[in-house]
Structure 1
Amino acid sequence: RERLRDVAWELAEDLVGDSIACEPLLLHGQPLGMMTVEPAPSEDVAALSQLSDCAAPLLAWQAAERGRTQAELLLEVIEAAGAHSGSLGDLLYMVCTRLARELEVNRASVFLQIGDRLVPRMATFSDGHKETDAWARLRQAHELPPMVESAFASGKPVRATHGHDPKLGVGWAEAFGIQSAMAVPLASPPVGVLVLDSSVRRSFRSDEIRVITAFGSLLGEIVRRTQQATEREVRLAAGESVRELLKHGLASPDVAQMAQRLASIAREAVEGGVALVCLPVEPGTLCEIGRAAAEPALEGHEPRRIESPVAEEPIGPLAIVDVADEHGPAERLLRELGLAAGVVVPLVGYKDGSGVLVCGSVEPRLWSERALELCSQLGLEGGLVLEAARLRELERAHQVELQHRAHHDFLTGLGNRSLFYEHTGSALAVARRERNRVGVLLVDLDGFKDINDGLGHDHGDRLLAEVASRLRNTVRDGDIVARLGGDEFAVALTSSVSQHSALAAAQRIADAVGAPITLGGIEVSVGSSIGVALFPDHGRSTEVVLRNADAAMYEAKRKYSGIELYQQQAGHRQTRAVLVQSLRQAIAEHRLVLHYQPKIDLKAGRVTGAEALVRWQQPDGSYVPPAEFIPLAEATGLIREITPLVLADALQECRRWLDDGLDLDVAVNVTTPDISHSDFPDIVEGALERTGVDGTHLTVEITESSLIRNQTQVIVGLRELAQLGVSVSLDDFGTGYSSLGLLDQLPVSELKIDRGFVRESDRPATTAIVRSVVSLGHALGLRVVAEGVETETLVRFAARLGCDAAQGYYYARPLPADEFRAWVAADGVRAQAAA
């Protein structure tokens, strides 16, 4: 006792000076505490010892009473937990209220582990009222108090003895008025954390720490068992719900239908007033997809878009009792949905909490642990089912897209050849039953290749898309339009078709296609050749009718007629596919030969050269006219093989003329693709070097209709030829494509007036046009040649208007090389003049 008194006096002197008396409290020689008197008495110090001897048993009795009370409290909790039939929330409320009251703290709170997070589940004061506002603020906080996480992680009690203790966390003590707190883990391993806090500074006694720790262990085991029991019940209920969900999910892959079914199942399982499924439609925006309600008024609610996410990151299921008391993102969602309370559960498979299941009520409501866990399970299973449905939708859409691409042209959106055969076959079957006709039109664009090569493929694609649009707008609903490939389209007229109506439709198509279109700031137009065939007149299957329409189209090309109806007697003509193969073989076998038509100087009356014209010689010695295979060669690209052969043969023949002392030039027809190709000048230069012919003896003729204004590649190609001494002749001048700007840019030395103007010399308007062309040519320093001169009258007409030269059947038709040389030797010009 003397030693304890000395220690106490020393402590007292350090703390308050000499005005305090201390006496240890001993019971059976064991210290229980310290009794102090202030100010220290000057007499009867011995009375202090007597008083302490009396106080020690009383203090021991108080400690024993606290122990009995704490034991009774533990027994009550154990008995209550055993007899408890309500929710885990009710049990936590009872325990937290008793703990706060018996341990003389302001508040008791419970944090439970849900997933990988600690979530506040209960906060109640010692008088029993719940701290819903504190609960809401805790749940909305980005970080929990460090002592909560520390107690959970370490499995040991954590104390904070003053408001500035860092274990309370920055701002937490101030926000909730906390001056001291104790956190203990719930069970081991922990399922959560129990927190007791006070608004006054206090240190928790060792017996208090023991009882709080014991309460934490006991409460943790109760929570664990309750959760397990609830989980079993929820699994049974959820299992039935999920089986129902999966049954519908397998039957219907539609996400909207599945969302509606999930909402219905959730409403029935949770027994809520309304259940909703909200899915993201874009970042930061949810859309109500499915809704099920107990009341018809709520059931008929219109779906809405919600311009806010639920949370910045996924969180566990949240039970909101009354949205008026809380202000988090989940509460905002409930308010947007017109609900006063609800359980908000993130759907598995949707990132950042962007997809949610909501079970709600239009009135404030307490939510049971069972409801919370069941919603959580439905959020997991339902999210997976919705995700599976979404993937099926994507796969179905992908298959539809693949199917569409397999049967449609990507550029124009029209059906392709396969779809045309399928739909036309169906139309033919209907027509066969109803004894009707079907008209099939094959449309091939004239001049498309020149535009595509001259302006570029982008503009060519735009032209094809525009033609497709015009075709769709020209035919009737129910008619079939397809792009077969390249610049070839097909149309099937499916009802009320006659020969007259089919030809009228073809004319409407020709007019629509031929209308000008502006590409790259340039107004251009294309013509068309259209073949028409009828079912059953010209075939009883899609393949036969289309093949005969192709033959008719080729006949239109050959005749320059624009539109041709299939004629049975023309059926012996080769189809284009066969003709292409035959042309390839003719090129390989060198069966393309040149004939030469003389060009006559009108003033001198003598031949100055010849135009080399290619002919396709058949095995029987006959010739295929150029009008039949040259367009085909241009369309298929074979012209790029033909032109170098023609150029080589023509220059070789020119070499013979020069060797024979004939000072004659040779002209070769070339296309825009030939000149646009970067290696064409090299091809020409190589042919000149191999034959030893000077470039001044060669003229390349390019048609005016094949040129597009201001084409850099054409201009560059022709200028490179001019540097070799090669002359450039603009053929068919007057057809309306060229301009003065074009003539100024191209190194043209000759204009050839189109034969159509020459043949109509008896018309005053035509005479005026020819005279203008001649004057224009001479003003630009160009030589002017009249083509198609077939009579002496036309010769005099050309000479009178000032043409420099003429070419036509009046002088000679195109002649084989040997016959041409013989004609020149016989002075054919003078012979013709004399005749």
Structure 2
Amino acid sequence: MTHIPIEIADNAQFQIQIRQAVLAAQHSATQVGLLMIDIEAGEPSFRNGDGLSNDTKEKAFALVTGTLRESDALCRISGAEAVVLLSSLRNPADALLVAEKIFRKVDQLLQQKSGAVTFRPKIGVALFPDHGSSASTLLECADIALKSARRNNERCVFYSEEFSRPARPPLRLSVLRQAIVQDQLFPLYQPKIDLKSDRIVGLEVLTRWRHPESGLIMPDEFIPLAERTGLIVPLTLWVLNASINQCRRWRDQGIRTSIAVNLSMWNLDTPELPEQVAALLNSTGVPADQLELEITESAIMDDPHRAMRTLKAIRELGVRFAIDDFGTGYSSLAYLKKLPVSSIKIDKSFTQNMESDNDSAVIVRAIIDLGHNLGLKVVAEGVETLEAKEMLTDFDCDEAQGYYFSRPVSAADIARIMQNAQTSSDQHSPIAGVSSGWALENDGEIPPAIKPPF
């Protein structure tokens, strides 16, 4: 006998189903997930003004139902929207796994119907007990997460309390300056993974701001202010000092890993930068080749001659360089060949779409081939699914980073991950350790939507 998930047309009955799932989860110490799905979502630039046909919507939701277990349930709330109830989840990664299956099946259907994916379904996720215990609260949180996915053009978004907080007042220069002086900033570290060995080969340093009143402030809110006002220079020095000193502490624990720090065009305009980097390396004893500095194409091309002088002076110290967000700027290939860089990083806007967008996949493959032909290592950013990782491996990409492997984590988490791998043949951590780090301290965001690739 074939078992199929429950399809519920009545919202009240669906809420009863949610309450029953929550009660069962309380007894079994498991989680419950709600996936709010919009199959008609899409980027406005790709929409042709016509919605999906009713026949296509029915086929799409039939595919969604086909991804579910007998214990799950689906409730249609409009022609193009539905809510999926996932019972007895072990962790948030289980909910993401279902979302990925839905994307693969529905994307394939829409591509067959139109010849191109003009509609990209989006999903908002809420979890019991993380985001609430009542059916109404969980439904509201899933809806808020879906709205965030639409607003930020993301495929799958987990609810966060940040979404429900009142809008923060505009940040002021004096407040950011105070944050730097009073150590309200803190670094997190996102692993970079070698795609051939599935091991950690480096860490990118990412900065967060824990404001005493406003809570966690992400870099896309305060970095633009820092760049407009010139505070990016002392802020970058703070990040360099914090991360290089952390690298020394890791070395004292027997952990060897490289770190990558982002620079802006303001930093390249600072003549003292090479001396400041040299002083930090000398005072900590960290080898220069364990530091990589990431620069964007636009930062280089703003004043290529000055940038070249600064880069060469730092490169002579033994520090490595990478071009960040490659493919989004306007760099000259002639300059690219002359620059003292050792790697390029493919911007996430290409990698996040390549599973369903053939043009993005072609661009990613072309960048990888270009980088290799120039003798450069190629790193892909924004890898969020197993399918994306496998495509990059097939394209012979060297390294990757993204939420599929790990969100940015604390220095303590990195130490635990790396120390757990001390029994391996070298001192690089196996990829399995990355996801285990998320049982530890994180950056105040929801747990990562990742699935260990083993």
Shorter chain as denominator, the TM-score bin is 0.5 to 0.7
Match of 1:783 in 2: 377
Give the letter aligned to residue 643 of structure 1: T
Q: Which has the higher contact order (CA 8 A, sep 6+)?
A: 2
C-alpha change, 1:728 and 1:560, in structure 2 (3 Å) is farther
Match of 1:704 in 2: 297
Distance across 2 between alignment mates of 1:793 and 1:691: 41
C-alpha change, 1:571 and 1:828, in structure 2 (3 Å) is closer
Aligned counterpart for 2:330 among listed residues 715, 734, 737: 737
Unmatched 5+ residue regions in structure 2? 1-150, 155-162, 421-428, 436-451
Aligned counterpart for 2:403 among listed residues 788, 806, 809: 809
Displacement, 1:624? 0.3
Please say if residues 707 and 737 of structure 1, whose CA atoms lie closer than 8 Å, have aligned partners that are also in contact. no
Please say if residues 281 and 288 of structure 2, whose CA atoms lie closer than 8 Å, have aligned partners that are also in contact. yes
Aligned counterpart for 1:796 among listed residues 365, 368, 390: 390
| TM-score, length basis structure 2 | 0.56
Aligned counterpart for 1:635 among listed residues 228, 235, 243: 228
CA RMSD of the aligned region, Å?
2.5
Give the letter aligned to residue 381 of structure 2: E
Q: Confirm or deny that 1:693 pairs with 2:286.
A: yes
Distance across 1 between alignment mates of 2:360 and 2:261: 28
Give the letter aligned to residue 798 of structure 1: L
Displacement, 1:584? 1.4
Distance across 2 between alignment mates of 1:753 and 1:650: 23
Match of 1:128 in 2: none
C-alpha change, 1:834 and 1:775, in structure 2 (3 Å) is closer
Distance across 2 between alignment mates of 1:622 and 1:810: 26
Per the alignment, in what secondary structure is the counterpart of residue 431 of structure 2? helix
Match of 1:421 in 2: none
User: After TM superposition, what 4+ stretches of structure 1 lie above 6 angstroms from structure 2?
Assistant: 558-561
Displacement, 1:673? 1.3
Distance across 2 between alignment mates of 1:680 and 1:719: 12
Distance across 1 between alignment mates of 2:383 and 2:303: 32
Aligned counterpart for 1:626 among listed residues 197, 219, 229: 219
Please say if residues 670 and 702 of structure 1, whose CA atoms lie closer than 8 Å, have aligned partners that are also in contact. yes
Displacement, 1:620? 5.6
| TM-score, length basis structure 1 | 0.31
Displacement, 1:791? 1.2
Give the letter aligned to residue 730 of structure 1: I
Displacement, 1:621? 8.9
1:181-192 alignment, distance < 5 Å = none
Match of 1:591 in 2: 184
Please say if residues 709 and 738 of structure 1, whose CA atoms lie closer than 8 Å, have aligned partners that are also in contact. no
1:427-506 alignment, distance < 5 Å = none
Match of 2:432 in 1: 830
Match of 2:443 in 1: none
Distance across 2 between alignment mates of 1:638 and 1:584: 7
Displacement, 1:752? 0.2
Please say if residues 190 and 206 of structure 2, whose CA atoms lie closer than 8 Å, have aligned partners that are also in contact. yes
How many aligned residue pairs are there?
A: 271
Please say if residues 386 and 453 of structure 2, whose CA atoms lie closer than 8 Å, have aligned partners that are also in contact. no
1:121-520 alignment, distance < 5 Å = none
Per the alignment, in what secondary structure is the counterpart of residue 803 of structure 1? coil
1:300-343 Cα deviation digits (max 9, x unpaired): xxxxxxxxxxxxxxxxxxxxxxxxxxxxxxxxxxxxxxxxxxxx
Per the alignment, in what secondary structure is the counterpart of residue 617 of structure 1? strand
Please say if residues 195 and 399 of structure 2, whose CA atoms lie closer than 8 Å, have aligned partners that are also in contact. yes
Please say if residues 198 and 430 of structure 2, whose CA atoms lie closer than 8 Å, have aligned partners that are also in contact. no
Distance across 1 between alignment mates of 2:172 and 2:417: 33
Distance across 2 between alignment mates of 1:598 and 1:784: 15
Match of 2:209 in 1: 616
Displacement, 1:686? 0.7
Please say if residues 265 and 302 of structure 2, whose CA atoms lie closer than 8 Å, have aligned partners that are also in contact. no
Q: Confirm or deny that 1:818 pairs with 2:412.
A: yes
Distance across 1 between alignment mates of 2:165 and 2:207: 26
Q: Confirm or deny that 1:767 pairs with 2:361.
A: yes
C-alpha change, 1:610 and 1:719, in structure 2 (3 Å) is same
Distance across 2 between alignment mates of 1:721 and 1:614: 22
Per the alignment, in what secondary structure is the counterpart of residue 405 of structure 2? coil
Displacement, 1:582? 1.6
Q: Confirm or deny that 1:603 pairs with 2:196.
A: yes
1:33-52 alignment, distance < 5 Å = none
C-alpha change, 1:736 and 1:834, in structure 2 (3 Å) is closer
Per the alignment, in what secondary structure is the counterpart of residue 172 of structure 2? helix
Displacement, 1:596? 0.3
Displacement, 1:641? 1.1
Tell me which structure has the larger Cα radius of gyration. Answer: 1
1:453-501 Cα deviation digits (max 9, x unpaired): xxxxxxxxxxxxxxxxxxxxxxxxxxxxxxxxxxxxxxxxxxxxxxxxx
